[in-house]
């Protein structure tokens, strides 16, 4: 009987010790490894499709920049954006019941890019149609229509996206404009995130309107977990925004002068461009 009691006691001690050790290690690793300041680790796989273009066209140091959030005008339509791996594959609740998870993150990143860009001295702004379902792609209120008009005036327009997870997506990278020579900002961004061919899928609607598309990365794995976690969400968004803004600065040969060009409330596109 004594041996049996000792064995039971040893088992209890072992299980308790193992449980404590496992819990401690989980807390330790989650606390220390949840957020890593490494763009490649956060973004994950980049596009692996041959692309030969180089961005060589010089841009003006004061070039106006417009940031669009992909799918901001196409919710409830076929182009609403990816729900992400967490929602579509694992049944997690969406970040918002009214919009896709991709748009949720597109809007968050759009805002962060503009705020940081202004602090670094860029002439940068955003546009949000606020109407989430616009059936006609050529409606003057859509991303594409506003972006096309802005580009015609000499501005640099880029639409932010997160790619689909798994085999549905391709990976991170920049899709350059369709009929315009890629410039040095395009090259700077492509070096960080990857490079899609100009005629990707025969030429998408945005690039045909001289609007670049930046696929940040597949909405899955490490990237999505860090966006969804309250502990790492803002740091992840800030890191991505900083990499994009730094690519802008490198592309126009500016060194990040702290000289905001717009007031804090003057974020959205002025009426002159609408």
**Percent residues over pLDDT 70 in the chain:** 78
Residues 6 or more apart whose Cβ sits within 8 Å of residue 10: none
* Residue 230 vs residues 29, 33, 68, 224, 225: alpha-carbon distances, Å: 16, 15, 25, 12, 10
Cα separation, 126 vs 66, whole angstroms: 5
User: What would the pLDDT profile of 68-120 be if each residue is shown by its tens digit?
Assistant: 999 999 997 777 999 999 999 999 999 999 999 999 999 999 999 999 999 99
Quick check: 84 and 175 in contact, CB under 8 A?
Answer: no
Task: Supply 31's token pair.
Answer: 């606390």
User: What would the pLDDT profile of 235-274 be if each residue is shown by its tens digit?
Assistant: 999 999 999 999 999 999 854 444 444 444 445 554 433 4
């Amino acid at each position: 009987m004594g041996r049996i009691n000792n064995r039971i006691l040893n088992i209890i001690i072992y299980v308790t010790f193992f449980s404590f050790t496992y819990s401690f290690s989980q807390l330790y690793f989650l606390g220390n490894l949840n957020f890593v300041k490494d763009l490649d680790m956060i973004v994950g796989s980049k596009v692996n499709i041959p692309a030969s273009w180089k961005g060589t066209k010089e841009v003006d140091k004061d070039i106006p920049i417009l940031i669009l959030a992909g799918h901001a005008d196409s919710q409830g339509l076929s182009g609403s954006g990816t729900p992400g791996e967490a929602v579509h594959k694992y049944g997690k609740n969406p970040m918002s019941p009214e919009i896709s998870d991709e748009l949720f993150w597109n809007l968050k990143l759009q805002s962060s890019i503009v705020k940081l860009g202004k602090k670094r001295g860029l002439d940068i702004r955003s546009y949000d149609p606020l109407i989430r379902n616009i059936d006609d792609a050529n409606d003057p209120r859509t991303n594409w229509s506003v972006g096309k008009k802005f580009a015609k005036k000499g501005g640099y327009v880029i639409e932010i996206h997160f790619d689909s997870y798994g085999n549905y997506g391709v990976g991170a990278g920049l899709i350059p404009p369709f009929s315009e020579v890629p410039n040095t900002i395009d090259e700077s961004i492509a070096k960080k995130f990857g490079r899609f061919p100009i005629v990707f899928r025969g030429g998408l609607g945005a690039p045909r309107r001289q609007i670049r598309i930046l696929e940040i990365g597949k909405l899955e794995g490490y990237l999505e977990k860090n966006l969804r976690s309250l502990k790492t969400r803002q740091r992840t968004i800030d890191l991505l925004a900083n990499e994009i803004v730094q690519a802008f600065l490198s592309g126009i040969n500016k060194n990040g002068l702290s000289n905001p060009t717009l007031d804090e409330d003057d974020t959205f596109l002025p009426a002159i461009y609408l």
